[in-house]
């Protein structure tokens, strides 16, 4: 997730290895990708170049865990990479499936479905209570 407004779009690569994500721009996020468990040193490069803008060393990736990395800061604050745990391997019982690995997608336009349903139910209840005059 790119949350550093002063930083241009970046390619995210393993230091000395492959580019994992390309052209990640503020304020967007990438899709999830699978990586093997281990410790990684990452480079955040100006998109389409080899110019390293930021490095993150010792990023630990555990098998069976879903995590996000967010580049945050700017506007007078240092730029840093924050690790955000999204989900563990064991599924939570009774939880709502978002289909986005713990990160809900873009909400639909207009009022949320639950709110629209509540408004419709309230209107139907009010209509059923009315008596002709």
Where along the chain do its domains lie?
A: 1-88
Question: Do strands 66-74 and 2-3 pair parallel, antiparallel, or not at all (unpaired)?
Answer: parallel
The separation between CA 58 and the C-alpha centre of its own chain, rounded to angstroms, equals: 21
Lowest-pLDDT range of 2-16, 38-52, 71-85? 71-85
Of 38-42, 68-72, 87-91, 102-106, give the lowest mean pLDDT range: 102-106
| Cα distance between residue 21 and residue 32, in whole Å | 10
Please say whether the beta carbons of 101 and 89 come within 8 A.
no
Q: What pTM was computed for the model?
A: 0.62
Whether pLDDT at 88 is above 90:
no
Q: How far is CA 109 from CA 10, 41, 105, 116, in A?
A: 29, 39, 12, 12
Residue 99 in this model has a pLDDT that exceeds 90? no
């Amino acid at each position: 997730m790119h949350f550093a407004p002063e930083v241009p779009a970046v390619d995210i690569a393993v230091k000395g290895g492959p580019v994992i994500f390309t052209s990640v721009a503020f304020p967007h996020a990438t899709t999830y990708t699978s990586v093997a468990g281990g410790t990684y040193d990452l480079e955040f490069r100006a998109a389409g170049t080899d110019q390293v803008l930021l490095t993150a060393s010792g990023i630990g990736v555990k098998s069976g865990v879903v995590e996000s990395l967010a580049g945050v800061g700017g506007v007078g604050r240092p730029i840093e990479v924050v690790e955000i745990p999204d989900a563990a391997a064991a599924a939570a019982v009774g939880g709502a499936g978002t289909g986005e690995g713990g990160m809900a997608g873009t909400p639909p336009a207009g009022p949320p479905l639950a709110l629209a349903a509540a408004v419709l139910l309230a209107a139907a209840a009010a209509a059923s209570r009315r008596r002709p005059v």
